[in-house]
Structure 1
Amino acid sequence: MPDAASPQPGPHHPGPRASGDPRVAVVVITHRRREEVLVALERLRDLPEQPAVAVVDNGSDDGTAAAVAEQHPWALLVASPDNLGAPGRGVGVAALERTLDPPPEVIAFCDDDTWWEPGSLARVADLFAEHPALACVNARILVEPGAREDAIVAELRDSPVPGPPWLPGPALGSFLAGASAVRRSAFGEAGGFSRRLWLGGEEEIMGADLAAAGWELCYAADAVVHHEPSRRREWRRRRRDGVRNTLWFIWLRRPLPAALRRTRDVLASLPRDRTSVVGVARALAGLPWVVRERRVLPPPAEARFLALEDSQRRSTARHYG
């Protein structure tokens, strides 16, 4: 979790509002998408659950922080001078822990181009209350405009990952953070998102570490997140970092035979272009620390990722094209 040097809420902006459903709060991260995050906050403000919300501005230079402070004073604003990437979510969680008494046990994540459907936050809070060993719930994702199912939903629904019979939905090995909710205590136990990975596939190592600690992850079809993909996306950087982070995860957590096999499959799937080459080169540059911090998953957790290999090879939703 973030340390004492993490960005702090400004004195001009005390937030957040008291949560209508004290079991759940929301963390939003944003970077240079002022208009989009303002709309996202409108949608969160109007949810029937009336959740407390922390919004972490990841070093925007387009006036995002000032606009949020002016138009959404009910939300807790954390303005970081730097783009923290995915670890900004942990900064938001820590800010909520400091300002809410007691802090909610369920934290829903939301990007600036996603939003939770009314009633879905209450549903995931119910699931966590009913299942104490549940650490993460991935919602059903509908792409806007048109509310069509994201291609990844079929893979979540048909997940081959083994799980206990009590799970309220298919067991998962990983999750999509912008459409998921986590148990705050489990998130803290896992240490938040890796600062080294920054952004792009950062969920895989957290999912693995949660499983290694005995937690469960699942898909819940009756919780819904809408996603209207932003036009302001750094596609090359996201793909480059996604390649790097996938390879890092493989060598940080998978046993040698699986690591060799998955590396082969990932490299075979990459487009033959400069972005792929840079991603692989950056993965290789990180080998010293990867070897130093390598910690192979215990067999029950490894079984999840072993079960996923065939679907990962065939996936049309997860790719680097």
Structure 2
Amino acid sequence: MTLTPEIYGAELETEDVTVVVATRNRADRLLETFPHHRARTILVDNASDQPQPLFPGVDVVRLGENRGAAARNIGVLRARTPYVAFADDDSYWTPGSLARAAALLREHPRAALLAAKVLVGAEQRIDPVSVAMSESPLGTPPGAAGPSVLGFLACSLVVRRDAFLAAGGFEPRLFVYGEEALLAMDLAAAGHELSYVPDLVVRHLPLPGGRDNGARARVETRNRVLTAMLRRPLPVVGRALAKAAGEDPVGALDALRQGGWAWRRRRALPPQVESDLRRLAVDNSGA
């Protein structure tokens, strides 16, 4: 069953996009953001152990375990539209953005992913990641929908469903935080375009505080190293591990402890994708 205007008062602006929302124990945020979705919507509950709101007429998937970012994969598998947009339980796409994204994906068959501009909080300040994407040193290829990117925020993506599934979606072992990098590499390695389109806009309404930033930093460090192990040349892995050891030894140790599966699944990136990643690294370092 799907989200309908009769239930929430929001008109469906496109029949070609499904919004997938992953959530866990954040009923207050869902009650604020969910009524804004203007497309078919699938809600994936990541094994919440607190009461969650009911949304009649919405496809709700209740998982028996917390799968982190990979919960989104379940929603994509259930979707029956050619394109899927992701939203977090504290975010939503602004009116017109989903219809515009569908039109762009129809116009640009090589595009597998469009990343939107993210406006944070009630004051709608632009997210630094959006600023970085707008200034991408990779430029805009001829005929592309926007500047090429290899990094983005998961809550600001519209993807071509078949390309996302062929790439494997979000890697379950990375769980959360920094899971986007591997997806970007694999989509680009498959020959797809990944573009930043600032005309597409997402509102992000995070609550202040309430999360363990130290724990998040450790997981992000671990995932950066694991992602390097999975796809990058050995010298890059060595530098990533050395940097992690200096900045967050616990995160680096976690990566080493869990690195066995990453080494077994190593796959070299095409030269152009690796070159683009190096170019981005130089640009971000200011060298």
Q: After TM superposition, give the deviation of residue 241 of structure 1 in Å.
A: 1.2
Contact 1:30 1:55 in 2 (8 A): yes
Q: Give TM-score, length-normalised by structure 2.
A: 0.91
Cα distance, 1:221 vs structure 2: 0.7
Question: Counterpart in 1 of 2:237?
Answer: 259
Q: Are the structure 2 counterparts of residues 31 and 234 from structure 1 closer, same or farther at C-alpha, using a change threshold of 3 Å?
A: farther
Q: 2:77 aligns with which of 94, 111, 135?
A: 94
1:306 and 2:278 are equivalent in the alignment: yes
- Residue 197 of structure 1 aligns with an amino acid whose one-letter code is L
Q: CA deviation at 1:296?
A: 1.4
Distance 1:303 1:129, change over 3 A: same
CA distance in 2, matches of 1:117, 1:196: 32
For residues 150-299 of structure 1, the aligned pairs below 5 Å read 150-161=127-138, 164-231=141-208, 232-268=210-246, 270=247, 276-299=248-271
> Alignment partner of 2:45: what SS?
strand
Cα distance 1:61–1:141, how it changes in 2: closer, same or farther (>3 A)? same
Q: CA offsets per residue over residues 262-321 of structure 1, 9 Å max, x none?
A: 4444555x3xxxxx332111101022222211111110111221111023335xxxxxxx
Q: Distance in 2 between matches of 1:267 and 1:126?
A: 45
Q: Which residues of structure 1 form unaligned runs of 5+?
A: 1-14, 45-49, 97-102, 271-275, 315-321
State the Cα deviation string for residues 199-231 of structure 1 (Å, max 9, x = none).
111111111011111011010010000111134
- Asked whether the 8 Å contact 1:30–1:111 carries over to 2, the reply is yes
Runs of 4+ in structure 1 off by over 6 angstroms are none
> In structure 1, how many angstroms separate the alpha carbons of the residues matched to 2:243 and 2:144?
30
Percent of pairs with identical residues: 38
| Whole-angstrom CA distance in 2 between matches of 1:75 and 1:197 | 28
**Pick aligned residue for 1:55 from 43, 64, 76:** 43
Cα-to-partner distance string for 1:164-190 (whole Å, 9 max, x where unaligned): 211121100122111111110110110
**Structure 1 residues 301 and 163, CA gap change in structure 2 (3 angstroms):** farther
- Measured in 2, the distance between the counterparts of 1:242 and 1:262 equals 12
CA RMSD of aligned residues (A): 1.8
Cα distance in structure 2, aligned partners of 1:261 and 1:245? 14
- Cα distance change on mapping 1:128 and 1:267 into 2, 3 Å: farther
1:191 deviates by 0.9
User: For residues 127 and 295 of structure 1, do their structure 2 counterparts lie closer, same or farther at Cα, with a shift above 3 Å needed?
Assistant: same
Structure 1's 20 and 74: CA in aligned 2 closer, same or farther, altered over 3 A?
farther
2:107 is aligned with 1:114: no
Residue 79 of structure 1: aligned partner: 62
Q: Distance in 2 between matches of 1:75 and 1:304?
A: 40
Q: Does 1:36 align with 2:24?
A: no
Cα distance change, pair 267–160 in 1 and its aligned pair in 2 (3 A): farther
Which residue type is aligned with residue 287 of structure 1? G
| Unaligned 5+ runs, structure 2 | 5-11
Q: Hey, what's the Cα distance between the residues in 2 that align with 1:197 and 1:241?
A: 8
1:86 aligned counterpart, secondary structure: helix
Amino acid aligned to 2:35: E
Provide the rounded CA distance (Å) in 2 between the counterparts of 1:146 and 1:51. Answer: 25
Per the TM alignment, residue 257 of structure 1 is displaced from its structure 2 partner at its CA by 2.8
Aligned length: 279
